[in-house]
Structure 1
């Protein structure tokens, strides 16, 4: 049966190629699993940003953008991306020992107690929320799992490309921090969107670099962010858990 398009010309339907269907399936999985609205409670954590704002280190759109950009390139955003890639490779090769070692490292690396709690709580929530996609995860059952490790493991199990998965994961990281800044600085909606736009290339760059990195490339120079996370542990009153 022929159909007519909105412009009045005959519309032609062509069967979708299997590869296109697979690509769309992967895309929808990425958009869902790493969306800021995926129910893992990311909105409750500021990653130390709240104390940085309270101390005047972050005070407007420009300083918010620069703070997050540094984390992507030289701080926790970078280390989580490398750990995500390590978990993805361990999952791809069904290497349980490698996955456990990566998880132990991921839980040992945070420089503040709240940062570790954030990673654990987000990892646990991600495992619960992603149950329809992941099924069981016997290698990590009955133990704490870092968010980056859980996310990388599942991305490989779903046959999601590493670079695209990293970009989606980091985009979620950035989006949660921008949302926190929107409440605390505060930022207007247009300013928040501009920050997301400005950081898109840095997200892509970090994803590409991390996809080719190994655990030897782990390292952080974001000392001010780490100190802010430590100071947040005694900050009162506060809106966020980290």
Structure 2
């Protein structure tokens, strides 16, 4: 028998699927988050090396930065805590080591705000920080659609993995079957990353991914490229 909460849960799930869909018109396909540099520099040349790269970024990047930040921001939205939202948004900007990574966060955030404007889903103006990043706006939509925090993190991690594999299929190139093999191998890692993120204390936050930062910096002057980061 269905429960009273079933329609809400169903709508939340559908809202999350819409938010993490590659069809969401915010231009996420244009960014590689440093992965294109890893190909160009010869750091990642095959399926196995790509799996190791993604595993490392997930463990030392997302699980220490974007994922725990999403949990904190979603709570701040729920509490209508404008100061906390602004502080965590500023903190995220400060962790972006290169101009491209910072630009990506701001541009995707702006694109998502434009979409939310057309859908009449924006929060109260007093709650929105100056120059909100993608993670900040993503967390607002998750809160607005009653997505549980854990599912918000899983959805974000899933969208990141899909984007990275799409980049590899275009630029490496990686075959689609190989991409599915990596998806199958890394799905448990996404769950572990969310578990780790939810256990992090504030003083433990911050990405430790110098290779990605260096690759991103070198990408700014890369002669030929398909992606904006």
TM class, shorter-length: over 0.9
> Could you give the per-residue CA deviations for residues 163-221 of structure 1, whole angstroms, max 9, x where no partner exists?
01100011101110110011111011101111111111111111222234343221222
Contact 2:18–2:24 (CA under 8 A) maintained in structure 1: yes
Give the C-alpha shift of residue 17 in structure 1.
3.1
Structure 2 residue 217 is matched with structure 1 residue 219? no
What is aligned with 2:187? 200
Q: From the CA coordinates, give the structure whose radius of gyration is larger.
A: 1
Give the C-alpha shift of residue 93 in structure 1.
1.1
* Pairing partner for 1:233 from 212, 220, 223: 220
What is aligned with 2:23? 37
- 5+ long unaligned stretches in structure 1: 1-13
Give the C-alpha shift of residue 149 in structure 1.
1.3
* Secondary structure of the corresponding residue to residue 17 of structure 1: coil
Give the C-alpha shift of residue 86 in structure 1.
1.5
Distance 1:133 1:73, change over 3 A: farther
Give the C-alpha shift of residue 142 in structure 1.
7.6
Give the C-alpha shift of residue 150 in structure 1.
1.2
CA distance in 2 between counterparts of 1:141 and 1:170 reads 23
Aligned-CA RMSD value: 1.7
CA distance in 1 between counterparts of 2:123 and 2:150 reads 24
TM-score, length basis structure 2: 0.93
Give the C-alpha shift of residue 161 in structure 1.
0.3
Deviates more, 1:124-133 or 1:44-53: 124-133
CA distance in 2 between counterparts of 1:174 and 1:35 reads 12
CA distance in 2 between counterparts of 1:233 and 1:56 reads 17
Give the number of aligned pairs.
228
Contact 1:162–1:211 (CA under 8 A) maintained in structure 2: no
Structure 2 residue 100 is matched with structure 1 residue 128? no
* Pairing partner for 2:142 from 142, 145, 155: 155
Contact 1:53–1:185 (CA under 8 A) maintained in structure 2: yes
